[in-house]
Structure 1
Amino acid sequence: MMMFYVNDQFYTVEDIEKQFELYESLSHLRECNNRRVAICTVDIFQYIALCLYIRQKGGSVVPIHPATPQEGTMRLASSAGSHLLLFQSIDSCIELSNHSNNQEGVLVQMSSGTTGAPKCIERTWSSVEEELDSYVKTLPVDSLTNSVVACPVTHSYGFICGVLACIRRGAKPVIITNSNPKYILKKLKEYPKHILYAAPALLYTLSQLLPIDQQFDRVMTSGTMMPHSWLTSLREKSRQVLQQYGCSESGCVAIHPNVEDPKEMGYPLPHVKVTAGDKQTPSEIIIEMSTQTIYTKDLGYIEDNVLSFLARMDDTINVAGLNVYPQEVENVLMDDPRIVEAVVYKKQDNLSGERVCAQYVSSEPIDHMELREWCRKFLAPYQVPMEFVFVHEIEKLPNGKVSRKKLGGIPV
């Protein structure tokens, strides 16, 4: 049964059915079966209902983050080939194209943009269904466990894995749009059997604010590798920490049911075949689906059927022929208790080809020679950053991820 919460408001099947009746009375929605509809709204109930309705009609959906201003929304909607844009209201319908198409309905996702300009990626609703079936069969969670979705539902992580998969297994998703950590912790206490979907940075923040008498039931991390120190803190305060891996083209393809090492992404889902190198000779992670083969440009390996991710191939730093994986260096920096956040990236070097650089946020001033000596305790000489840069905040993309290319001054 299709029921869910948005913050403190509960919505029933009847609420969804009433919305469907309303949409049927509007010609621009009733006739959406061969059209692509971009949606940008702060009304998350309206957004979910529209997605379900358009999917049922065989139309296509282009989700746009609700904080996007109107001019930016129109640009994104147009670049995705949208016919209609619903901006903040179903009555505010902007016609972008009057050419319908006869293609199968799709869910459009934009790539993260961490390795270049964001790309428009189309996934058929049938491929989303295939992922959902596989995901629900694999996820070690029962129908009494609520998914608490504290990440954007305009992205497949929140929408497919957080909301649709929860509904598919008979539970009620709790979608949180209030980003106040204290509010999120309050909601988690209301649902003692939960799996919390959130980005690594938010999970770590919540773990630091968690009252001593409270524990997370289950948490799911995805999107970027979590520093070792963050994972350790999270594991101490959670009954179970899970991790999933995928990409915009495929959705989720692997789940780890109890992650102890951040680079371990988990076991491949049954609907895909995932290949990579071995521990001694890692290589590109390749995903084979029923309709396509995806070359991820991620470097990794498989050992005992567990997929591990090392780095984006473009982010790997080649120092005089030796590979440096940024996460390994970041973990060492983050183990210094004064370092709050760190990111490692590459710059061109006349002697070694590429050199290791680091930006960091710290709770107090740190002499860079002291940082260098700290790194030398744990890293090979070629892994030690040649350049340290203190910043008050590490620059991030709108999706919360870091572009290492941009930090290194490399064109994207």
Structure 2
Amino acid sequence: MSEQKLYPQFRNAAEFIEFHCNKFSDKPAYHCLGQTLTFAELEEKSRSLAKWLQYECGLQAGDRIAIQLPNITQYPIAAYAALRAGLVVVNTNPLYTPREMQHQFSDSGARALVILSDMLPKFEQIKADTGIENVLVTGAADLIAPPKEKTHGYHDFVAALEQGAALPKLQPLTATREDIAVLQYTGGTTGVAKGAALTHENILANAAQMLDRISQRCAEGEEIFVCPLPLYHIYAFTVNMLALFSLGAMNILIPNPRDLDGFVKTIEPFQFTGLAGINTLFVGLCRHPGFQALDFSSLKVTFSGGSALTSAAAELWQSVTRCPVTEGYGLSETSPVATLNTFDAEEIGTVGSPLLQTKVEAWDEDGNTLPVDEVGELVISGPQVMLGYWQRPDETAKVMHNGFFRTGDMGMVQANGNIKIVDRLKDMIIVSGFNVYPNEVEDVLTRHPQIIEAAVTGTEDDKTGEAVVAHLVLAGDISEQEIVEYCRQELTGYKVPKHVIVHKELPKSTVGKILRRELRDQPVPAAEPA
């Protein structure tokens, strides 16, 4: 395995950004809310903002800046500006509660914040408990129709761009590949969120690793990718804002992917060639009449990541779009992509093979490497693996061993080299001593034509220790007994749900991932299916 640095010509992400902005200067880079921004315009606006951050805010190299925006063009402008100014980007979910905002801002030590105007009331509640000194506010449509007057007492995004353009040259950047570029908070669905410290090396390596695969199918300067996954999520941050950006692709930003009517209307005029999503999005789009009527003749890449791809979602997507789903796997701690299926040889049920310079193994409880086809904890090593958790050496020590990151995911390395994820270690249910992996049961459930969504959790059981609980969203009339009988035909007895709970909708993260944790906390009815 070669240990040569990926993208060796760049000392840091700022040089990477500037090089590609100049290389593709006249091509469209981002489209959002009816407005298209070229690479040249992106370079100019991000440079102006970077200067403003340096001169007007007095921010120094290594200072942290939180960006709390949805998928609007201001996001890449702010992120590229921050990196060009030598700052560390703290990606922040716009839907966070004040408590979550306060934790992330304080834990990261952020000195500046770029925030959507709609979020200001939440920030006002906690600003005294943070170290944030400079707040930059934007409305979603401000780049299209700049506000005539400020309705807040903070800095205005558009005004900062104008002021920055008149400032002296950008101060030279001294960041090296080993310096931190991004703090990506993770663990919010499992406990207190920790900041995965991703270096310039990590994110540049992962962009190069993904480009190595993407280039097998996509051409430089010709692609149009739909981007519904949030840019504050490390997947879209690295894959869309770095890898596809370096291919000269145009990204169509979708601010609110749950508005399927608006989603379809946004992408309808384009001969889009790629899209990344997850199960719930694939199914929702494929059930939308307007989406079904679109022209998919140019679509050649559909990526899936973030949650396990069900066979039902993959089959539905391919039947509607004629494009197979190529599933990958990664985590915030791996910048994020570690594995990806091979184009034209996708193996549904696996997450494909490790990327360039990446090693994936399955370990037993003692840290020994298991043979092929044996289930253990998946561990990853490679240039995209994080430096560690921000200011949490104890937490870092728990997950880093001999250069490998312990994922907490159970899986196996198949004889063909593809990696199969069985489930999260903590989500595993033990019924009478037998291991039940929710992903497997969910995959069976969602194949039933009357079941739209499924999530499987465990609950305490006097006889078996734990019992399987199926949480379902239904498309039509079907009884609990019919569901259980269907499962008995497809699953060994101990895997069959003992409890079935029907919901109008399942709780999801902002990325659309079903939150099993919230379902586990809900009471389970005493009555059982016969």
Q: Which moved more, 1:347-356 or 1:126-135?
A: 347-356
Matching residue within 197, 205, 210 for 1:135: 210
Query: 1:394 and 1:97, CA in 2 relative to 1: closer, same or farther beyond 3 A?
Result: closer
Query: 1:70 and 1:85, CA in 2 relative to 1: closer, same or farther beyond 3 A?
Result: farther
CA distance in 2, matches of 1:259, 1:155: 28
Q: Secondary structure at the match of 1:341?
A: strand
Does residue 309 of the first structure (1) align with residue 392 of the second (2)?
Answer: no
1:44 maps to what in 2?
Answer: 72
Q: Which moved more, 1:283-292 or 1:102-111?
A: 102-111
Q: Which moved more, 1:400-409 or 1:378-387?
A: 400-409
What are the residue-to-residue correspondences of 1:122-271 with 2, within 5 Å?
A: 122-139=197-214, 140=216, 141-143=218-220, 144-179=222-257, 180-209=259-288, 210-212=291-293, 214-215=295-296, 216-236=299-319, 237-250=321-334, 251-256=336-341, 257-258=343-344, 261-271=347-357
CA distance in 1, matches of 2:224, 2:207: 16
Query: 1:118 and 1:75, CA in 2 relative to 1: closer, same or farther beyond 3 A?
Result: closer
Q: What is the CA distance between 1:396 and its match in structure 2?
A: 2.6
1:320 maps to what in 2?
Answer: 432
Query: 1:82 and 1:62, CA in 2 relative to 1: closer, same or farther beyond 3 A?
Result: same
TM score, norm. by length of structure 1: 0.89
TM score, norm. by length of structure 2: 0.70
Q: Which amino acid aligns with 2:284?
A: T
CA distance in 2, matches of 1:18, 1:88: 18
CA distance in 1, matches of 2:108, 2:455: 32
Asked if structure 1 preserves the Cα contact closer than 8 Å seen for 2:64 and 2:87, the reply is yes
Asked if structure 1 preserves the Cα contact closer than 8 Å seen for 2:373 and 2:413, the reply is no
Query: 1:405 and 1:87, CA in 2 relative to 1: closer, same or farther beyond 3 A?
Result: closer
Q: What is the CA distance between 1:370 and its match in structure 2?
A: 2.1
Q: What is the CA distance between 1:388 and its match in structure 2?
A: 0.9
Asked if structure 2 preserves the Cα contact closer than 8 Å seen for 1:58 and 1:104, the reply is no
**Computing the radius of gyration over CA atoms, which structure comes out larger, 1 or 2?**
2
Matching residue within 284, 287, 291 for 2:377: 284
Q: Secondary structure at the match of 2:513?
A: coil
Deviations 1:43-92 (A, max 9, x none): 83222122112212321011212344667534431232212223337xx9
CA distance in 2, matches of 1:258, 1:402: 29
Q: Secondary structure at the match of 1:337?
A: coil
Does residue 5 of the first structure (1) align with residue 30 of the second (2)?
Answer: yes
Q: Secondary structure at the match of 1:173?
A: strand
Q: How many residues align?
A: 405
Q: What is the CA distance between 1:42 and its match in structure 2?
A: 4.9
Q: Secondary structure at the match of 2:504?
A: coil
CA distance in 1, matches of 2:50, 2:356: 37
CA distance in 2, matches of 1:282, 1:40: 39
Normalized per residue, which structure has more strand? 1
Q: Secondary structure at the match of 1:153?
A: coil
CA distance in 2, matches of 1:106, 1:163: 14
- RMSD (CA atoms): 2.7
Query: 1:324 and 1:288, CA in 2 relative to 1: closer, same or farther beyond 3 A?
Result: same
CA distance in 1, matches of 2:446, 2:262: 28
Q: Secondary structure at the match of 1:190?
A: coil
Query: 1:382 and 1:396, CA in 2 relative to 1: closer, same or farther beyond 3 A?
Result: same
Q: What is the CA distance between 1:125 and its match in structure 2?
A: 1.8
Query: 1:207 and 1:358, CA in 2 relative to 1: closer, same or farther beyond 3 A?
Result: same
Q: Which moved more, 1:389-398 or 1:181-190?
A: 181-190
Q: Which amino acid aligns with 2:337?
A: C
1:84 maps to what in 2?
Answer: 112
Q: Secondary structure at the match of 1:370?
A: helix
Q: Which amino acid aligns with 1:125?
A: H
Deviations 1:125-177 (A, max 9, x none): 22101111111012232222222111100111111112221111122222221
2:454 maps to what in 1?
Answer: 342
Query: 1:208 and 1:261, CA in 2 relative to 1: closer, same or farther beyond 3 A?
Result: farther
Asked if structure 1 preserves the Cα contact closer than 8 Å seen for 2:252 and 2:267, the reply is no
Asked if structure 1 preserves the Cα contact closer than 8 Å seen for 2:76 and 2:241, the reply is no
Deviations 1:256-287 (A, max 9, x none): 13575543101111132111255642111100
1:381 maps to what in 2?
Answer: 493
1:297 maps to what in 2?
Answer: 408
Q: Secondary structure at the match of 2:306?
A: coil
Q: Which amino acid aligns with 2:250?
A: K
User: Structure 1: which 5+ residue stretches go unaligned?
Assistant: none
Q: Which amino acid aligns with 1:265?
A: V
Query: 1:377 and 1:390, CA in 2 relative to 1: closer, same or farther beyond 3 A?
Result: same
Q: Which moved more, 1:346-355 or 1:381-390?
A: 346-355
Residue identity (%): 25
CA distance in 2, matches of 1:25, 1:228: 49
CA distance in 2, matches of 1:407, 1:338: 21
Q: What is the CA distance between 1:33 and its match in structure 2?
A: 1.2
